[in-house]
Amino acid sequence: MQATRCGQAVAAPYNSPHMTNNSQDALLIDGVTKSYGKLQALKGVSFAIKPGEFFGLLGPNGAGKSTLISIIAGLAHMDSGRVAVMGHDTVRDFRTARRKLGVVPQALVFDPFFKVVEMLRIQAGYYGCGREVWPWIDEMLERLELDDKRNTSMRALSGGMKRRVLIAQALVHKPPVVILDEPTAGVDVELRRTLWAFMRDLHAKGTTVVLTTHYLEEAQEMCERIAILDHGEIQALEPTTQLLARHPFRFLRIKLAEGSALPSELQALVASEKAGTVELKLETAKHPIGSVFDALRRAGIAIEDVHTREPDLEDIFVELTQ
Ligand code: ADP
């Protein structure tokens, strides 16, 4: 039998966390249900994520994302269903499943008295990792621009710096699957850039990344596939490009000449209106752009400027969850 260290097979090179064949799912969620009293937070959620995917789990507030992440991380019990991380059942084989997983939580919770590097080494110890991960800890400190804070105690760090430590802490044992729960909520642009560059590199080396975010443009840019969860159910699960292409509508933004108003026959198409500029949502099959111009001409409305916009993930998200 092959010996293991720090949750990895010893023979595994440290920059290649996968010790699995491609037929195995990195994360398997199978019929997961969870209720809080009468409230059904998860109503039988099922999906699978392949090793090496960059996957987005999106949904409005209250959709059930945090509940699902807590269940995956073994912090909450499901009522029924099954979750496996790299083939390891999170209930029957909890310790191994947990070692395969790194979760960057939303909340900043730390012991304030430890220094940064001590914190990370202690965390590594929880996963059975010793000195062999110290070079990796040093690499993360550098990548997350925490190097000059390595001997600073946690209580002396700013919120942004604490968040960097939280990210390093989740990755200290080199998990093959990483869940980022709203990692960029309220963080500055620089940390966002640092974080995404780091995640892109880890992903390029084979790490599976699951992202929940409110910043839909981030999900659109980073994720290969997206699941949209709403009211405890998966509403859509598709490759990002397919999700974007599946919705055949576009937007037409028109700046009306001063004193002009949109004719009543176009009012039903208005998606937004701001300072004399209206945005119309046009279903490709039903509303050719020419028909809008015809209506404007018939009504004698003068326009100053016009441009079209393809739907982005935000538009599709609103459409699916409203
Ligand atoms: P999200 O992370 O998508 O915002 P949550 O998983 O936090 O959603 O919540 C899903 C639903 O479950 C919400 O209606 C929320 O109010 C409810 N909920 C979450 N945690 C608890 C709890 N500990 N007790 C009772 N209800 C909860």
Q: 14-18, 30-34, 35-39, 211-215: which range is least confident on average?
A: 14-18
What is the spatial distance between Cα 99 and Cα 242, in angstroms, rounded to a whole number? 33
Nearest Cα residue to atom 7 of ligand 1: 66
User: Is 80 exceeded by the pLDDT of residue 87?
Assistant: yes
Amino acid at 317: F
Residue spans of beta strands (DSSP E) within the chain: 4-5, 8-9, 27-36, 39-49, 54-58, 80-85, 88-89, 101-104, 177-181, 208-212, 225-230, 233-239, 249-256, 270-274, 277-283, 303-309
Which of 34, 66, 228 for a ligand 1 pocket mutation test, highest count of atoms within 8 Å of Cβ?
66
Cα–ligand 1 centroid distance for 67 (angstroms): 6
Cβ 208 under 6 angstroms from ligand 1: no
The answer to whether the CB of 175 is under 6 A from ligand 1 is: no
The confidence score (pLDDT) of residue 5 equals: 54
How many C-beta atoms surround the C-beta of residue 312 within 10 A?
Answer: 13
- Please give the pLDDT value at position 8: 52
* Closest C-alpha among 114, 73, 65, 66 to residue 90: 73
> Mean pLDDT across the chain, nearest whole number?
88
Whether 39 lines ligand 1, by a CB cut-off of 6 Å, is yes
Q: How far is the CA of 62 from the centre of ligand 1 (A)?
A: 5
Q: Using 50, 70 and 90 to split pLDDT, how confident is the model at 10?
A: very low
Tokens of 34: 């969870």
Q: Compute, in angstroms, the gap from residue 164 CA to the centroid of ligand 1.
A: 26
Ligand 1 centre distance from Cα of residue 60 (Å): 11
Q: What is the pLDDT at residue 1?
A: 37
User: Which residue's CA is the closest to the ligand 1 atom numbered 20?
Assistant: 67
**Confidence band of 22 (pLDDT split at 50, 70, 90):** very low
Q: Given strand 54-58, what is the order of strands in its sheet?
A: 101-104, 177-181, 208-212, 54-58, 225-230, 233-239
Query: 13 phi and psi, to 5 degrees?
Result: -65, 145
- What pLDDT is recorded for position 6? 65
| CB of 41 sitting under 6 A from ligand 1 | yes
Q: Cα of 27 to ligand 1 centre, how many Å? A: 22
Choose the weakest-confidence range: 13-22, 140-149, 248-257.
13-22
In this prediction, residues 137-151 reach a mean pLDDT of: 94
Lowest mean pLDDT among 70-84, 132-146, 164-178, 288-302: 288-302
